[in-house]
Structure 1
């Protein structure tokens, strides 16, 4: 009887480890993919009114258990695109991270590609970041 209980316990432990490993791998994959997005876009876009791939990844990260850590990692990364950093700012703002911390990242001199509806344009990163930090609604309702 005791060996049956130990077998069940070991099986449960193995499942927990596998699940945990799967979550870490998914988090890493999402963080890597979001870091490379070429456009920043929230809401419905284009004639068909679809959500951008970047926003889909952003939403997955936002719903994850380590969202704040993932977004901080992207924001602090030298390799992340300016567009990815805008998503990270949105994510951290929605996690109620202090605006003073977020303002440290506004000095990015790059422009960012922003898709609104069916219009793609380049805008100053600083201006976009300022809007995100000052108005959480700029990141959409989650």
Structure 2
């Protein structure tokens, strides 16, 4: 599990659902799903979200995990990050874009991450 956590912290694209020309689940999503099934998933996602060594893309997966495991923790964790003008790399279908963190977090807040796609 620790290896999955460390790999997720370094992920450089955020994608939920089938992506790429041939359609596959991204490495980041597979890591996210394995961590989500851990008994202490909420604590792991909080750690990833708060870690200075996590990429912003990793924080988006952590936000997904917090939204699923503890909506109250999600609201508290994302409050400050919503104020930033930073962007994340988001892979939708076969298109990679830079999107504002605040927009991605709003999508996660409104629709979650477990329906096979990220809402726009």
The TM-score with structure 1 as length reference comes to 0.74
Matching residue within 110, 116, 119 for 1:134:
110
Matching residue within 89, 96, 117 for 2:70:
96
Q: Is the 8 A contact 1:102 1:133 kept in 2?
A: no
Q: Report the counterpart of residue 6 of structure 1 in structure 2.
A: none
Which has a greater percent of helix? 1
Unaligned runs of 5+ in 2: none
Bigger-Rg structure (1/2): 1
Q: Deviations over 1:93-124 (max 9, x none)?
A: 01133153133232343210000010001001
Q: Which has the higher contact order (CA 8 A, sep 6+)?
A: 2
Q: Is the 8 A contact 2:89 2:99 kept in 1?
A: yes
C-alpha distance in 2, partners of 1:110/1:92? 20
Q: Report the counterpart of residue 106 of structure 1 in structure 2.
A: 82
Runs of 4+ in 1 over 3 A off after TM superposition: none
Q: Report the counterpart of residue 20 of structure 2 in structure 1.
A: 46
Q: Map 1:1-142; keep pairs closer than 5 Å.
A: 26=1, 28-98=2-72, 99-104=74-79, 105-136=81-112, 139-141=113-115
Q: Deviations over 1:69-89 (max 9, x none)?
A: 110001111121110000000
Equivalent residue pairs, number: 114
Q: Structure 1 residues 108 and 85, CA, compared in 2 at 3 Å: closer, same or farther?
A: farther
Unaligned runs of 5+ in 1: 1-25
TM superposition shift of 1:127: 1.1
